[in-house]
Amino acid sequence: MSGKPRLRKGVRLSFDKTRDTDVLLFPEGVLVPNATAAAVLSLCDGRSTVDEIAAALGSRFQGVRAQDVTDVLTRLVERRVVEWT
């Protein structure tokens, strides 16, 4: 995939205090992403490339590869919560 990922219109990542975890809110419902997906989603601003997202995550976690980020984004695009610009 090329381009820069961003959350689709009407989608937002939020912290749910009741669940004590990040949630992805969108018109069709709520998705509770795992920690990896939440970290990727937090960087999907439409300005950062996959390589830039991987580098940012690499400064926080060990062993982050661009392919790992792409894999997560592929699943999120399939769920229609992320799009490419």
pLDDT tens digit string along 14-59? 999 999 999 999 998 999 999 999 999 999 999 999 999 999 999 9
Q: Is 2's pLDDT higher than 80?
A: no
- 7 forms beta bridges with 82
CA dihedral over 8, 47, 49, 56, signed as positive or negative: negative
The structural domains of the chain, with segments of one domain joined by +, span 5-79
Distance between CA atoms of residues 21 and 72, nearest Å: 18
Give the fold, CATH level 3, of 5-79.
Outer Surface Protein A; domain 3 (3.90.930)
Residue 77: CB partners within 8 Å, gap ≥ 6? 1, 5, 83, 84
Give the residue carrying structure tokens 């820069």. Answer: 4
Stated pTM of the model: 0.92
